[in-house]
C-alpha cells in the first residue's frame, strides 16, 4: 500500500511538471517567473481535485452570498452540449425554507430526528443548491453533472465543503407534502428537479475513500 501511494505521488508530480512544460509562453523564452506560476496553478487544480471530500458535518456558519455567487458562476461555465445550458439552479439559504421542508420530512421519516445531531434533512448544511434539468434534451443530465462538479470543486478551493444528495430529491419530487416547497423553487415548466448539493463550512475531516483504478483502461 505504501509503495502504491509512493507511485501515485510520483505520477502526480510528473503530471504537474508535464502540464507546466506544455503551457504556452512558459520556460525558455525569458518568462521564468510566469512559468513557475503556471506550473503552480496547474498543480493546485490537481491537488484540489484529489483532496476533495464529501462533507456530511457542517458548522452553523452561513456561506456568504458573494462567495456562493462565485461558486455558481463557476458552475454555469461548465462544458455543456451545444451550449444549451439545459439546467436551472436555485439557491436556498433561508432557514425558514430549510426548517419548513425538514419538518415535513420528519413527519414522513420520524426516525431521522432521533439522531441528536440532526438539524435538517440536508446533512445540516446552511446552504442548499437545487439543480433541475430539461428532460427534452438527451444530454441534459450530463450537463447538470458537469455543472455540479464545477460548483463542488470551486467551493472546495475556497474552504467550503459539499455533498451531493439524492434522498431529499426523491422526497421533494414524490411526497405531496413537499409540493409547496418544490413550487417555491420556481423551476420553468418542463424542468425536473435532478439533484441537490449541500454547501457549508466543514466540521469534519474525512479520510479519502478507496478508488478502483482497475476501471480505467487504455485501449491500443
End-to-end CA distance of the chain: 28
For every one of its 220 residues, what pLDDT tens digit does the chain have, with 9 covering 90 and above?
Answer: 444 444 444 444 444 333 343 344 434 455 556 545 665 677 899 999 999 999 999 999 999 999 999 999 999 999 999 999 999 999 999 999 999 999 999 999 999 999 999 999 999 999 999 999 999 999 999 999 999 999 999 999 999 999 999 999 999 999 999 999 999 999 999 999 999 999 999 999 999 999 999 999 999 9
Q: Could you give the CA distance from residue 64 to residue 101 in angstroms, rounded to a whole number?
A: 22
The CA distance from 139 to 113, in Å, is 37
Domains plus CATH for the chain?
2-51 (no CATH), 65-200 (3.40.109.10)
Nearest in space to 54 (alpha carbons), one of 166, 167, 152: 152
Range 102-111, long-range pairs (CB < 8 A, 24+ positions): 104/175, 104/177, 104/178, 104/181, 105/168, 105/171, 105/178, 107/177, 108/171, 108/175, 108/177
- Which of 11, 79, 3 has its CA nearest to residue 43? 11
**CB-CB neighbours of 208 under 10 Å:** 9
3-state secondary structure of 93: coil
Q: CA triplet 67, 187, 97: central angle to 5 degrees?
A: 60
In the beta sheet, which residues pair with residue 114?
A: none
What pLDDT is stored for residue 42 in this prediction? 74
Q: Three cell numbers at 95?
A: 432557514
pLDDT value at residue 11? 40
Q: Which one-letter DSSP state was computed for residue 138? A: T
Q: Which of 88, 97, 86, 73 has the alpha carbon at shortest distance from 187?
A: 88
3-state DSSP of 17-82: HHHHHHCCCCCCCCCHHHHHHHHHHHHHHHHHHHHCCECCCECCCCCCHHHHHHHHHHHHCCCCHH
The predicted structure's pLDDT at residue 140: 99
Q: How does DSSP assign 146-167, residue by residue?
A: HHHHHHHHHHHHTT-EEEEESH
Amino acid at each position: 500500500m505504501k509503495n502504491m501511494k509512493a507511485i501515485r505521488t510520483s505520477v502526480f508530480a510528473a503530471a504537474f511538471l508535464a502540464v507546466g512544460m506544455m503551457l504556452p509562453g512558459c520556460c525558455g523564452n525569458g518568462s521564468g517567473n510566469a512559468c513557475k506560476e503556471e506550473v503552480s496553478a496547474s498543480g493546485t487544480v490537481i491537488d484540489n481535485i484529489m483532496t476533495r471530500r464529501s462533507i456530511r458535518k457542517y458548522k452553523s456558519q452561513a456561506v456568504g452570498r458573494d462567495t456562493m455567487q462565485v461558486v455558481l458562476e463557476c458552475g454555469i461555465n461548465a462544458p455543456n452540449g451545444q451550449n444549451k445550458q439545459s439546467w436551472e439552479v436555485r439557491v436556498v439559504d433561508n432557514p425558514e425554507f430549510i426548517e419548513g421542508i425538514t419538518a415535513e420530512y420528519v413527519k414522513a421519516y420520524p426516525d431521522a430526528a432521533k439522531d441528536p445531531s440532526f438539524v435538517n434533512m440536508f446533512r445540516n448544511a446552511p446552504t442548499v443548491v437545487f439543480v433541475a434539468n430539461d428532460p427534452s434534451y438527451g444530454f441534459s443530465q450530463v450537463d447538470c453533472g458537469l455543472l455540479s462538479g464545477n460548483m463542488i470543486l470551486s467551493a472546495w478551493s475556497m474552504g467550503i465543503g459539499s455533498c451531493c444528495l439524492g434522498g431529499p430529491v426523491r422526497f421533494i419530487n414524490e411526497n405531496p407534502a413537499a409540493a409547496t416547497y418544490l413550487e417555491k423553487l420556481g423551476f420553468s415548466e418542463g424542468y425536473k428537479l435532478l439533484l441537490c448539493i449541500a454547501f457549508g463550512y466543514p466540521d469534519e475531516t474525512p479520510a479519502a475513500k478507496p478508488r478502483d483504478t482497475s476501471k480505467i483502461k487504455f485501449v491500443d
